[in-house]
Amino acid sequence: MAVAALEYVGAASALMLPTDDLREAARAVESDITRQVQQNPQVAQVVEQLEQNFDQYATKQQRSLLVHSDDAVPDAEELGLPLSSTCALSRATVSSGARGRHRRNLGQ
């Protein structure tokens, strides 16, 4: 899912973003999870029950990650807005933390 999101953002912003390492890591994690679930019958039973509940109660729209013909596709600006907000918040947090450390170093 992260690979698809990264590719979608890359396509929307006309950037070629590297996804090979992310794909490889996702395959490794999926393989590890599958192995662990298979090794523990109780976990396998819980996962199976969760999948059955999802299949039973999820709507058709919740099951699909695809954009439907009547859905509005966000443009690059709409996709980038949450990212830029997060980056701005992160910069503000880091900046205020640096000021606090600077004040402590000055004995204030």
Joined tokens for residue 68:
């439907």
Instruction: Give the model's pLDDT for residue 33.
Output: 93
Give the model confidence (pLDDT) of 35-61 as tens digits: 999 999 999 999 999 989 888 887 776
Nearest C-alpha neighbor of 6 from the set 25, 72, 32, 20: 20
- List the chain domain ranges: 1-59
User: In angstroms, how far is CA 62 from the centroid of its own chain?
Assistant: 17
Give the model confidence (pLDDT) of 68-95 as tens digits: 666 777 777 776 777 677 767 667 666 6
Q: Cα dihedral sign for 90, 93, 99, 104?
A: negative
What's the one-letter identity of residue 42?
Answer: Q
